Structure 1
Amino acid sequence: MDIRIVMSAGVSRRACRTGFGLALSLALAAPQVASAGAVIAATKSRKAKPSAQPKRARAKTAKVVAPPLVLPPQSEPASRMIAWIAAEHDNGGLPYVVIDKQAASLLLFSGKGDFMGVTPVLLGVGIGDDSSPGIGAKDLADIGPAERTTPAGRFVAKFGRAFGRQRVIWVDYSNSVALHAVITTHKSEHRVERLLSPSPDDNRISFGCINVGTKFYTGTLTPAFQKKGGVVYILPDTKSLDDVFPRVRLLPYVSAAVAR
């Protein structure tokens, strides 16, 4: 018995200590205890009862899907090469690039053949489609201008280390041909300016390696080739496309077979 309830009923402190006072206290306090219990029960009932109003569903933010890139018009050799790779699945599921030396441009595709972007490139100052024998073992100072060619052909490329621990995409390791971000060590070469120039005529400056802009290299090319590498197709300067890639001659027949 809570003495505070008894006192609120008007019973004196002395009466509460006697049997009559106790009985009277019980009689007077009982209705109030019952009333208090009802209030507590009602309160618990209200707390337990779920809200009748449903919670508002959170609005889901729709993912914005970027539209696919549209392949810009290409030279006739580049168009044939791209069509043949797609028809033959020659890339074997790996991402790949097609480098058009005459246009000084690089086109990047995913392993599924989706076009991922185009960027200008810097190439070897020498005009030609073959690497000089033993050039990979020579010091740079011993390589003459005519030997500084970017070879044409199909190459399976992977990341690796070059001189000075620089990480590059090795296109032709034995002949020291790599694909990497543009080098700005020698300011007099104006390599960045050459990349930004609208004409491909001034894009011949390297010892044979392929240079691309740093943003494209780190943001687009590197993520594509990071896991398993890729395939690099370099179109010729002086030779015909069919001489470097004989199987491209079969493109009309392959396309006809696929269309059936």
Structure 2
Amino acid sequence: MPTIPMGVPALLWIALLLFSPDGMSAVIWKSKVFLNPPWREIFRGDTVSLTCGTNSSSEDESPVWIHNGTRLAESNPRLDIVNADRQNSGEYQCRIKGYAVSEPVYLNVTSDWLLLQASAEVMLEGESLFLRCHSWRNLNVFKVIYYKDNTSLKYWYENHNISITNVTEEDSGIYYCEGRVQKLPRTSNKLRITVKKEYIYTQSKYFWLQFLIPLLVVILFAVDTALLISTQKQFTLLLKMKRTRKRNRFTDPQPKPDPPGN
């Protein structure tokens, strides 16, 4: 079980363990996989590093790495994939001791001429989206056009990345790019980018449950503890009274019988 953070009451920490706003375990207890560079779509021969960490500092732990459900022999916080091949595709997870297994990160190793890469495929409003029209073996790409839902977004004679800051739900859609590689026109894969509204508790009619349920757990725990202490005190008092009566029965003078009548 993870160490209780400083300044957090133990009872509240127990409540957060049992309940979180989305009804699941608190995310602070989960391991997390980070990609560097952040692209989930890569070419054969590319290099990518996966790092296992948490929301708190636990990178010095020796994590367990899982690829497509199979535990790997690697136990370092960083897993380097050099000269990637198709066998490196799939789902990656990690687990640091005392933390839950991470959410899966999917890596797709492909063979093509042109590849659209995105910093993230599911985002929250207000974040920034980075797109890269990547060519095989970093060959020069010219006359690059980025598309969203089959509508051109940006044209570059020489290849450049593009960024969309403060994304909104309107930025959701299907993205891809076109360009000329070795003088021939090429089209990349298509990526679905989804932008979600940031969840605001006050907008939910059930937001009060997120605070009420942990509070009830704390109250019930406190009441149960108080009842236990009260019962123990009453039991101790009864034992003390019983011992006192027993002792008095043997130490108090016995009443003498009345003399017989004449």
TM above 0.5, one fold? no
TM-score calculated relative to the size of structure 1: 0.22
Structure 2 length-normalised TM: 0.22
Structure in which a larger fraction of residues adopt strand = 2
Larger radius of gyration: 1
Bigger helix fraction: 1
